[in-house]
A and B are shown apart, each in its own frame.
Chain A
Amino acid sequence: MAVASSGFSLPEFSPRIDQVGVEERAARFTKRSIKNDSKVQGLKLVLNMIDLTTLEGKDTDGKVKQLCYKAMHPHDALPGLPTVAAVCVYPTMVRVAKKALEGSGIRVASVATAFPSGQSSKDVKLRDTKFAVNEGADEVDMVISRGKFHAGEYNFVFDEIAMIKEACGEARLKVILETGELGSFDKVRRASDIAMMAGADFIKTSTGKIQPAATMPVTLVMLEAIRDFYYKTGRMVGMKPAGGISKSKLALHYLVMVKEVLGDDWLNNDWFRFGASSLANDVLMQLVKMQTGTYQAANYFSVD
């Protein structure tokens, strides 16, 4: 479906969301019984879907290099582990990460567009994005203008995403909705639809700087938006919940949800990611527990 930005109006393709229904449905995904073999496979898949992230003012080259090493060597004591999917950093750190990850196949994702608030001019956002791409980012994580969205200026939000998408060139674009600031499932659904229509390759829940970040119900709403969009247009869009997912068990619940809403096609790191920093170690601890049979302690695993 081709959508001209000028003729864009929303309510037609954004259905209302039944909040109680979504919450109950999301809760039911946590009740699946997962047997040991599936659990090990699931945990490895989770590890392979992680965008290992550091987005702090205090980030240094050294910190980013260390994170990249962790991305390539999650836990060498346990052979046969996959690497993570990507390393996610600020634009200024892209070059460092790119160099550190050379030849590993791990992608570099960069946040852009005045992350995390998105409160800046069009020009700054464009240059921010182009800078990240020129530095070598394989993926760009942009934020939408939540203020404009709340003010009802959906065309503005749409145009902005389309503009950034164009600036990305070959790089895949993830659009962060910052669901913690949107306020209702209806608005999450609407923002998801706008982002996908405007060309997002991924839609992503949160920056990780705002509470609440990713939750299962909000992710479910977005997954259903992706499903409906796929049925309508035939185009697959990826999903990335970010922030607040730090336990393996919860990550497995997310996989169950993806499988039951979108199916096996989405169960790989081309179409599903976890934005997380501490999840990786919990997954590793669980994998070692599955192998040795003894409960593990955090201080036997590298910090990052």
Chain B
Amino acid sequence: MEKRLEVLKTYKIYIGGQFPRTESGRYYIPNNASGKKLANVCLSSRKDLREAVVAARGAFGGWSSRSAFNRSQILYRMAEMLEGRRAQFLEELVLQDSSRIKAEKELDLAIDRIIYYAGWCDKFQQVFSAVNPVASSHFNFSVPEPTGVVGIIAPQGDSLLGLISVIAPVIAGGCTCVVLASETKPLCAVTFSEVLNSSDLPGGVINILTGKPSELTSWFVDHMDVNAMVYCEKDAVVQKMIRERSAANLKRISFYDQVDWQTEAGQSPYFIMDTQEIKTTWHPIENIAGAGAGY
């Protein structure tokens, strides 16, 4: 019998709920430690980033105004879909230099982490909101609101767990994001985008690019329509660049270079708060000066 032709998977990027190839037509081939070629992966350009930001901005209105409970349901659905594709993720993790046992652990943690943030979707607002005492006749309260479009340079190391640990809190809080996946270990990120595409997540809420942080980080930072940046490497030069150039539109910046995603410290509602902004409302109330306003 003739040998069957192998059908190889094309690793594409994920923008606005679609799987385009990079507009640049470029690709790169990451190797694992033993020198095996992982795949031909899209080398995204600044124009892909531009398209992704347009998609993320377009999705922001709908996603941020969904009920928190519904966002929670969708995150839970993402975890379910991830669970259903265990075998594929395990295989990719092992291909990307993980051991079988470590890969199992990383996958379990990744699924649990989504569930964790699914739970927080409709709870962090209560924890971080406040009613403020003021000296005039106003009801004064502060609530967190999503910042907008978040640019994420994902951790280079934990290619699945790290990715999920930085994405989940951002979308749990109602932001949308454009993520640049790990340059050296991009396989899980692309497969994860296929999970997203089958989990009721509206197109554009999460956009995943593959490529080189050295090429794209500055374009993330300079983009006036990106409202916050998450950066996970220790590179001091890049961190300084991000701090300086984010001033142009006052981006909210988070550096997660000290976080061990494998531990409990890798999950917390404070990660959600990193891409929220506090809005305070002064609501006039009847003058009750005699009684002294409680708030």
Q: Could you say which of A295, A297, A300 has the most chain B C-beta atoms within 10 Å of its C-beta?
A: A295
In the assembled complex, the CB of A294 is this many whole angstroms from the nearest CB of chain B, namely 4
Secondary structure at the A interface, as helix, strand, loop or mixed, is loop
Interface string of A287-299 (1 = CB under 8 A from B): 0000001111110
Contact of B265 with A by CB under 8 A? no
Q: Closest B residue to A300 by CB, please name it.
A: B224
Interface size on B, residues (CB 8 A): 10
Residue B222, interface by CB 8 Å: yes
The residue in chain A whose Cβ has the minimal distance to the Cβ of B224 is A297
Complex CA gap A48/B60 in Å reads: 32
Q: Which of A294, A298, A300 contacts B223 (CB 8 A)?
A: A294
Contact B248 A295 (CB under 8 A): no
> Bound state CA distance, A268 and B249, in angstroms?
36
Tell me if B's interface is mostly helix, strand, loop or mixed: helix
- Which residue of B219, B224, B225 has the most chain A CB atoms within 10 A of its CB atom? B224
Q: Mark B47-85, 1 if CB is under 8 A from A, else 0.
A: 000100100010000000000000000000000000000
CB distance from B36 to the nearest CB of A (A): 37
| Chain A 251-304 interface residues, beta-carbon cutoff 8 Å to B | 293-298, 300
Give the residue among B50, B57, B225, B249 with the most A Cβ atoms within 10 A.
Answer: B225
Q: Mark B18-62, 1 if CB is under 8 A from A, else 0.
A: 000000000000000000000000000000001001000100000
Residues of B within 8 A of A293 (CB): 222
A293 to B222 Cα, complex, angstroms:
9
Within the complex, the shortest CB–CB distance from A122 to chain B, in Å, comes to: 45
In the bound complex, how far is the Cα of B57 from the Cα of A196, in angstroms? 43
Closest residue of chain A to B47 (Cβ to Cβ) is A295
Instruction: Name A288's closest neighbour in chain B (CB-CB).
Output: B224
Closest to B53 in A: A295
Give the complex CA separation of A191 and B222 in angstroms. Answer: 49
Per the 8 Å Cβ criterion, residues 182-234 of B in contact with A are 219, 222-225
Q: How far is the CB of B201 from chain A (nearest CB, A)?
A: 24
Q: Check if A295 sits within 8 Å of B222, measured CB to CB.
A: yes
State A294–B219 Cα separation when bound (angstroms): 8
Contacts of B50 in A (CB 8 A): 295
Inter-chain CA distance A80–B53, complex, in Å, is 29
Q: Within the complex, what minimum Cβ distance (angstroms) separates B279 from chain A? A: 16
Whether A294 pairs with B53 at a CB distance below 8 angstroms is no
Measured between beta carbons, the chain A residues less than 8 angstroms from B223 are 294-295, 297
Using CB atoms and an 8 Å cutoff, list the residues of chain A in contact with chain B: 293-298, 300
Jot down 23 A-B pairs with beta carbons below 8 A, ordered by A: A293-B222, A294-B222, A294-B223, A294-B224, A294-B248, A295-B50, A295-B53, A295-B219, A295-B222, A295-B223, A295-B224, A295-B225, A296-B224, A296-B225, A297-B57, A297-B223, A297-B224, A297-B225, A297-B249, A298-B57, A298-B225, A300-B224, A300-B249
